[in-house]
Structures are given as structure tokens and as C-alpha cells.
Structure 1
Amino acid sequence: MTATTSSCSCDEYAATSVGRRGLLRGAALLGAVSTFGTTVVTTSQGTAWGAPASSVIVVLSMRGAADGLSLVVPHGDPTYYAARPRIAVPAASLLAKDAMFGLHPALAPLVPLWNAGKLAAVHATGLPVANRSHFAAMEEVEDADPGSSARVGWLNRLLGADALTSPVQGLAVGSAAAPASFVGTQPVMTMPDLATVTVAGGDPANPQDARLRSLRTMWGSSATAMGSGVRTSLAGSAALKQATAQPDRSASYPATGLGQALSAVARTLRADIGVSLVTVDQGDWDMHTDQGTATSGRLVTNATDFAKAVAAFSADLGPVADKVTLVTISEFGRRVAENANAGTDHGWGNVMFVAGAGVKGGRYLGTWPGLQNTLDADLAVTTDYRSVLAEVVASRTTASTAAVFPGFRRERVGVMQGQ
């Protein structure tokens, strides 16, 4: 989990965001941690690397708890408008409307994907039991193994369920620390951006580099976890350097953290170096105050960034798009009623977007529970978020969903082809 800066007044969110040092301390308990420059690899035992990935899952975390009731508006439920007299999104401005739902107008860049059947929304998703603490909810969502004392994330278990074929098969982009979903015994590469992927004092593109030769001589045959870590780091750095040979189309993305992270992801995936699981973050969704109207304000800013970045990412992938599926997640949603500060407080149910390869899109999915207009009313959860993730995993990988989500029996969502 990466540290996220929020402009809201939620002290719990700011105080409990986990920084790079804390994350690495937790990872070190599970395996060796090798750091070269700003690239970090958490490692297990040595692995042989080989073929490119046949499919890719990109998990986009909307940190701070996005307001799903604003992103996908239940305009057919009159309680929505009664509960939000100042911040409700008018039905007339919604996009891709059906009888119950419509997309926020700031999501206009995503409408072509929706119309092409490449984007779907699953509403009333979330944790099986409400948890309004950012820190605890993030941990629970990303561990996805309630009751377990093992600190292993669901994406790390997914890496373990598939045969590793690349030192960069699991890749966290946009930070020097991996999210909790990647923490575990399987090797994971993290990078703030492609430009910072380096072995300090060495040139991964030059196999004759003296520093790299020294590292290979020292650790090349070591059976220790550190030896495995060094070898993985060297191989991963060299693999990611291949991505810099791909055209840089970052100018077509928003000049934001999310936009530039997704640009780096697309550039890396076009290099086809074996990446199969990717995480990126978008922060600042914790809008207790001044959430804004349908045309301006903090939510419009974030939603516009999200929509433009994902649309640019889809276009940038080119032929690789046929094997890339993107899914969004947030730790929880927001309350039904707006608060006295024209914002929304911590809630429960939310919306998840699924886009790209294998998606049965152009549809709103999930069971709508109806809304109540009381001070503490939540959007109830009718679809466990793990059912959405498990359907993506079952559709796009050969892994057992039982291994990835222990003890969980998924329900059919219908968002992915063949599921």
C-alpha cells in the first residue's frame, strides 16, 4: 500500500497510510528485499524466466474510497436525489443511461469503450462486512483472506498459483513500494517510472558493465535468498530497460500520477517482456468536504483524470489490448446522504469498473438493493468484491480461484466472457 496524500480532513486516512519503509519492513519478514537505485524487488527462491504473458490483469486502486454513487448514478432510485440536494448528478447529464443507472458526465472519454462492449460496471460491490477505516479496509481488500494471520496479498497468491515466467511478471507502477495485494513470497518488481529503473552505478543495457559483472560474480551462484534477489533484480532491470525502446506516448495521457503511470504500463506491455499482473494507484478520493457539482469540483477532477487516463491507456496498447483486462477497486464507498460540508462520509458499497479483454461490456451489473435517506445509510453490498476479481482471474488465467481467494465461494457476476 502506498502513501497517499489527501486534501480531506480525514485524519485516519492521512495517519495510517503506509509508506515505503513500513511496507518493506513487512515484506522483509517474508523474503529478501533487494534494492538497486529506486527499483525494489521482493524475492523468494530462484526462478527461471521465459515466455511472454498470454494475458495481463491491471488492478487500478482508487485510494481514499471513491463515491460510486456519483460515478455510476442510480438515477432511477428517487432516494438518491432526495439524499443529495446539492451534489447529486442530474439525470439529464448522465451518459450511457438505462432505466436505473448512468455514467457521470466526466466519464465521457470512456463512452466509446462502453459502446464497443469493452467496459462494464458492477454496482453494490464491496467487503462482506462494513469497515470504515481506510487502513484496515485497504488491508482487508488487498489480503482478500479474512481471518488469516498470514500477510500475503491476493495478487501474490495469484503469482504463486501460476508458473512464473518473468522477473517482472508482477509489477507495481507509480511508486517505489508495492501495495499490500502484492506482499508475499513471490517476486515482485516496483517502479516509480521507467526512467528510474536502474542498478545504481551500472548499465543494465551493457552486459560488460563492470559493476554488473561484479554483482553476477558475487551472487550468480549463491543459493541464499539474497543471491536469488540480486539475480532477480538484475534480470528485472534488464527486462524493463527493453520497454524504453517502445515509443513514448505519454503526451497523450493526462499529466497526472495516474496518467503517467498508465503510460509506463502501456509502454511496458507493448514490449511483451512477460508482465502479467500490474497495479497502479489513483489517490485523493476521500471527499468529506466540497465534493462538487456535476460540472466542477474535486470529484469531477478525479473522474476526468480517471476517464482520460484509462481511455488513453486502451488506445495506447495497440494489438496488445487483446490480452489486457483492467479492473478498479476502492476500499469502500460513501454514505448515501451528503453531509453538512457538501461532501460524503465513509460508507460501504461501491462500484467496480472492468474494461478490456474478455469483458462483456456496455452493461450495468449487480443486484441493486435500493437506497435509504437517513444520516448513516449505506449502499448495501450485494456482490462481494472477490466475486468480481475471481471472475476476472478465472477468465484470464489458468489459476485456481480457490488458491487465490482461500475459503471463498464466488457467485456468478457475468462481467466476463465464459463466466
Structure 2
Amino acid sequence: MNRRQILKSLAGGSALTALGGLEMLLASPAHAQTTSGYRALVCIALYGGNDGNNMIVPIDAAYDAYAAVRGSLAIPKASLAPIGSNFGLHPALAPLAQYWSKGRLAPVFNVGPLAKPTTRAQLAAGSATLPDNLFSHSDQQNLWESGGASVLGRTGWGGRLMESLGSDPVIAFGDAGRIGIGPTRSTLALPGPGSTFAPQGTFTGTHAKRRSALDTMANTARSNQLVSAFANIQKTALARSSSLGNIIKISPANTPADPLNTIFGNLTGDYNTPIAKQLYQVAKMLRERATVGGSRHVYVVSQTGYDTHNDHLARQNTLFAQLAPALVAFQTALAQLGLEDSVTCFTLSDFGRTLKPNASAGTDHGWGNNHFVLGAAVKGGATYGSFPSHVLGGADDYGVNSWEWQGRFIPTTSVDQYVATLASWMGLSDSQILTMLPQLAQFSTRKLGFL
């Protein structure tokens, strides 16, 4: 039985929903901070292993090498949305191309977990130091979410970042995995639009009894430190329900005049998707940031379904067709809120996928991957990192023996460098970043410059 199941058995499914997911709530928010100089990160987690090879495609002379290996999974050059003269976005992501021309979108190439800079020659010689358990979903998710090269770490870089800043917890409207877990706290997991996240006194019947029982458990003195720590998490959850309840419950159905409803299409049509609803919730929290408290926040939203071992083209197209309008709506909301310069979005995923298709019209697990950052603070209209060579058995291919040549790219940029760039923008000093990401010391270039 996992933590979610345990808490459902304690609180009951509907009561748990009302309390916003007690399993991932933090110890105590830092409300003493002001909202001047406000900044927030929005992590867009693409779970399953998004195929970055078809997300950002070369449209210059390198296209032929891409198409030769991709075969039936190659996207026709004419259908790609150009971002500059060298690269194009997947057709379903075409609505995001406008942000490239505005200098707000930046691809970051071939990013992945690394113990230290690694080459194919080192792999061939057996001298490479590799991250734990490459190509494993759970392990590579953990490395992306915790930083470093070992799956033994128990905290996430987002949690460590927020604790270093003395700020509020990481706030998730989707699966946040390990990102928000800090040394002394965990993620604040909140429900979707229209959910009842109500304070004591608003429950009736059985729900009132459950709430009363939770209050009693949370406020009973305990000698066991673990039980006492869990009680503190519960108390914070119950307290936060009072301050955030009115924000969480807003939806087109119960608050039709809310200006965000029009931006997000009243959460119908293209916006009736989990990712759009999550970003709608984030937009509301950003608007009410004074109530949320603090001048720094990290939000996590997520999409699942990117493990495209078969029917690759159709499945990825469907997901991107949901992601693009949601992100456009979110950027429009930021403009309305006057927060365009204050909020930066970025992607992460388990790993990249093989450039070479498998026998099921799909792709298999890879390593390095292409990502993007989005926002007015981004030094966009430019690319960062090194785009991999689309040559099987080439300098960037993980496989040493010919049967291994699948286009699993050895990352040339580490997760730690990617995260360090984000953390610096959020206000951490270089020394704080090295404490938060000790593996970063293995890299001579520690920030990538996209912010």
C-alpha cells in the first residue's frame, strides 16, 4: 500500500479530495516574504519519455540525416513550424512558434542525467562513469527530479531550492514525483478546478466527522518523531485549506465571470484536457499570489502517455495538440496578470527516445533529450546546448557495438546545468547552487545562459 492509498484509508476518498491531497503537504509556509520582485517556475513534466527528436527537428541540411534514420516516423519538412533557419517545431506545437519570434522560446538540446561530462570514446574504453540505471522510467525520473547521478537521493531539487530560499513548498497540480520533496518538507499537492478544499465548519455529516478526527489526530502530542512530523504535515494541510479554498474552487461552472475562463476557453474544446486545467489552476494561484504567500514559487503540472513504443506519431501528436493551446492560454493569462517577466516555464521528461524506430511504429527508451524554456525572461530566439549528430554509431550515439546503434544520445548538457540556470534566476547564489546540486562541480560550465 502506497502513501496515497494509506491516506485515502485514513481520510476517505472524498475527504482527501476536500483536503487537497494530504500525502504531499509541506511543514510550514513562509508567509513573511513580500511579493515584490516576484518570480515563479512552472515545470511541465512530460512523463513516459517524450520523443524530443520529433519535438524539435532540423530543417537545414541536417534534415536528410534525421529523415534517413527516422524513416516512417520522420515528420515531413514542409509541415514543421520554423523557429529560425535551422530548426522547426512539431506541427502540433506550431502555436508556440510565435514565442520564438518574440524572443521568449529557447530550445535546450540533448539534456540528461550525467555523473560528469561523458563521451562515446570513454564508453568504448570502459572508463565512463554513468548515472544509475539508464533507460529505466522510475530511475531516470528520479534523476531528473533530484539532480545528480544516483537514485539513492531522497530529496528533489525543487524542494531543496525552495528550502534554500526560505520559501513556500513546491505546489503541484499534476504528478510531481520527487521534485518537491525537501530535507524537511514535501510537495503541496492541490486538486483541479471546482474542487472543494474547505476549512473546518463547512463540512456536514460524515465529512464533518472525518475532518474532526483528522484535527484530533493532528493536534495530539506524540512521542514518536515520525508520527509527530506527519501530524505537522496534517496541521499545515488543514490550515492551508482555509487560505486556498476559494482560489481552488473557482471554475467556469461556479464563477462564470472570471476573466481567466475566456482565456482558457471555459475549459471546453481544446481546453478540456488535464494539462489545460492544471495550468488554469496555476494561473489562478499566480493571480492570488499575495494570498498564497511568498515571493518565490515553483509549480508542477504534468502530462502522461509519452511512452510511445507503438503508434508513435499519432500518440505524440495528440499530446502535443493538448499541450500547445494550454501553454498559449497560460502565456496569455500571464500577460493579463502583468507577470510575463516573472514566470518561466520549462519541460522535463524521463529520457529521450531512440532516433531509430522499432518494429512497432514506435520508439524505445533513450537518454539525452531536447527540451524548451518559455517566458519573457528567457533569452529566446536562440538555442542552447549541442544538437546531437543524427548518425547511428556516431559521436553522440550511446551504442558501442553495431547492434546497439539506435540513436540513444549521450547527453552533452546535464540536468544539473539545466536546473542550475533556473535556480540562479530564482535567486540562489553560486555557492547555494553547488550545495543544492553537488554533482554540478564536475562541469566547467555551470549555467547555460538562457535566463
Measured against the shorter chain, the TM-score band is: 0.7 to 0.9
What is the CA–CA distance in structure 2 between the aligned matches of 1:152 and 1:225, rounded to whole Å?
A: 16
In structure 2, relative to structure 1, the CA distance for the partners of 1:200 and 1:247 (3 Å cut) is same
Matching residue's letter, 1:237: S
Matching residue's letter, 2:265: A
Q: Which segments of 5 or more consecutive residues in structure 1 lack a partner in the other structure?
A: 1-17, 26-33
Match of residue 245 from structure 2 = 241
In structure 2, relative to structure 1, the CA distance for the partners of 1:24 and 1:377 (3 Å cut) is farther
Provide, for residues 305-328 of structure 1, a one-character-per-residue CA deviation record: whole Å limited to 9, x for no partner.
111111111112221232111110
The alignment status of 1:298 with 2:328, answered yes or no, reads no
What is the CA–CA distance in structure 2 between the aligned matches of 1:402 and 1:211, rounded to whole Å?
A: 44
What is the CA–CA distance in structure 2 between the aligned matches of 1:214 and 1:66, rounded to whole Å?
A: 43
Match of residue 119 from structure 2 = none
The structure in which a higher percent of residues are helix is 2
Q: Is the 8 A contact 2:106 2:374 kept in 1?
A: yes
SS of 2:352 mapped into structure 1: coil
What is the CA–CA distance in structure 2 between the aligned matches of 1:214 and 1:376, rounded to whole Å?
A: 56
Q: Which segments of 5 or more consecutive residues in structure 2 lack a partner in the other structure?
A: 9-15, 115-129, 223-227, 251-257, 394-404
**Offset of residue 62 of structure 1:** 0.6
Q: Is the 8 A contact 2:143 2:149 kept in 1?
A: yes
Provide, for residues 336-361 of structure 1, a one-character-per-residue CA deviation record: whole Å limited to 9, x for no partner.
11122221111112111101142001
| Bigger shift: residues 267-276 or 37-46 | 37-46
What is the CA–CA distance in structure 2 between the aligned matches of 1:127 and 1:333, rounded to whole Å?
A: 11
Match of residue 402 from structure 1 = 434
How many residues are aligned here? 379
Q: Is the 8 A contact 1:126 1:348 kept in 2?
A: yes
Percent same amino acid at aligned positions?
A: 30
SS of 2:410 mapped into structure 1: coil
The alignment status of 1:346 with 2:330, answered yes or no, reads no
The alignment status of 1:334 with 2:353, answered yes or no, reads yes
What is the CA–CA distance in structure 2 between the aligned matches of 1:239 and 1:357, rounded to whole Å?
A: 30
SS of 2:159 mapped into structure 1: helix
Q: Is the 8 A contact 1:71 1:104 kept in 2?
A: yes
**Offset of residue 170 of structure 1:** 1.7
In structure 2, relative to structure 1, the CA distance for the partners of 1:122 and 1:70 (3 Å cut) is same
What is the CA–CA distance in structure 1 between the aligned matches of 2:4 and 2:419, rounded to whole Å?
A: 29
The alignment status of 1:368 with 2:387, answered yes or no, reads yes
| Bigger shift: residues 306-315 or 188-197 | 188-197
What is the CA–CA distance in structure 1 between the aligned matches of 2:30 and 2:71, rounded to whole Å?
A: 59
Provide, for residues 47-88 of structure 1, a one-character-per-residue CA deviation record: whole Å limited to 9, x for no partner.
552335521011111101111110100233232111122111
The alignment status of 1:378 with 2:389, answered yes or no, reads no
Match of residue 13 from structure 1 = none
Q: Is the 8 A contact 2:25 2:189 kept in 1?
A: no
The alignment status of 1:257 with 2:270, answered yes or no, reads no
What is the CA–CA distance in structure 2 between the aligned matches of 1:49 and 1:303, rounded to whole Å?
A: 37
How high is the TM-score relative to the length of structure 2? 0.75
In structure 2, relative to structure 1, the CA distance for the partners of 1:40 and 1:52 (3 Å cut) is farther
Provide, for residues 344-394 of structure 1, a one-character-per-residue CA deviation record: whole Å limited to 9, x for no partner.
111112111101142001222211231223642323311112211210110
Matching residue's letter, 1:239: S
The alignment status of 1:390 with 2:437, answered yes or no, reads no
- 1:222-233 aligned at under 5 Å gives the runs 224-233=228-237
How high is the TM-score relative to the length of structure 1? 0.80
In structure 2, relative to structure 1, the CA distance for the partners of 1:304 and 1:36 (3 Å cut) is closer
Matching residue's letter, 1:386: D
**Offset of residue 96 of structure 1:** 2.5
What is the CA–CA distance in structure 2 between the aligned matches of 1:48 and 1:257, rounded to whole Å?
A: 29
Moved segments of 4+, more than 6 Å: 22-25, 209-218, 220-223
What is the CA–CA distance in structure 2 between the aligned matches of 1:378 and 1:187, rounded to whole Å?
A: 33
Provide, for residues 205-262 of structure 1, a one-character-per-residue CA deviation record: whole Å limited to 9, x for no partner.
xxxx999899879867969435532431133222322425664524355211111111
**Offset of residue 92 of structure 1:** 2.2
What is the CA–CA distance in structure 2 between the aligned matches of 1:20 and 1:192, rounded to whole Å?
A: 17
Matching residue's letter, 1:40: L
- 1:17-416 aligned at under 5 Å gives the runs 21=4, 37-40=19-22, 42=24, 46=28, 49-51=31-33, 53=35, 54-75=38-59, 76-77=61-62, 78-128=64-114, 129=130, 131-147=134-150, 149-164=152-167, 166=168, 169-174=169-174, 178-184=176-182, 185-199=184-198, 202-203=201-202, 224-244=228-248, 247-249=259-261, 250-251=264-265, 254-272=271-289, 273-274=292-293, 276-292=297-313, 297-317=314-334, 318=336, 319-373=338-392, 375-398=405-428, 400-409=432-441, 411=445, 414-416=448-450
Q: Is the 8 A contact 1:44 1:187 kept in 2?
A: yes
What is the CA–CA distance in structure 1 between the aligned matches of 2:285 and 2:385, rounded to whole Å?
A: 33
What is the CA–CA distance in structure 1 between the aligned matches of 2:322 and 2:26, rounded to whole Å?
A: 36
**Offset of residue 407 of structure 1:** 3.2
**Offset of residue 181 of structure 1:** 1.3
Q: Is the 8 A contact 1:202 1:210 kept in 2?
A: no
Q: Is the 8 A contact 1:132 1:332 kept in 2?
A: yes
Q: What is the aligned-residue RMSD (CA, Å)?
A: 3.2
Provide, for residues 90-121 of structure 1, a one-character-per-residue CA deviation record: whole Å limited to 9, x for no partner.
22222224443211121111122221111110
What is the CA–CA distance in structure 1 between the aligned matches of 2:376 and 2:137, rounded to whole Å?
A: 31
**Offset of residue 43 of structure 1:** 5.6
Matching residue's letter, 2:416: R
SS of 1:107 mapped into structure 2: helix
SS of 1:276 mapped into structure 2: strand
SS of 1:287 mapped into structure 2: coil
What is the CA–CA distance in structure 2 between the aligned matches of 1:305 and 1:42, rounded to whole Å?
A: 27
Q: Is the 8 A contact 1:335 1:377 kept in 2?
A: yes
| Bigger shift: residues 280-289 or 371-380 | 371-380
What is the CA–CA distance in structure 1 between the aligned matches of 2:412 and 2:158, rounded to whole Å?
A: 23
Q: Is the 8 A contact 2:52 2:370 kept in 1?
A: yes
What is the CA–CA distance in structure 2 between the aligned matches of 1:216 and 1:338, rounded to whole Å?
A: 54
Matching residue's letter, 2:181: V
Q: Is the 8 A contact 2:44 2:348 kept in 1?
A: yes
Matching residue's letter, 1:347: G
What is the CA–CA distance in structure 1 between the aligned matches of 2:105 and 2:49, rounded to whole Å?
A: 21
What is the CA–CA distance in structure 2 between the aligned matches of 1:21 and 1:389, rounded to whole Å?
A: 28
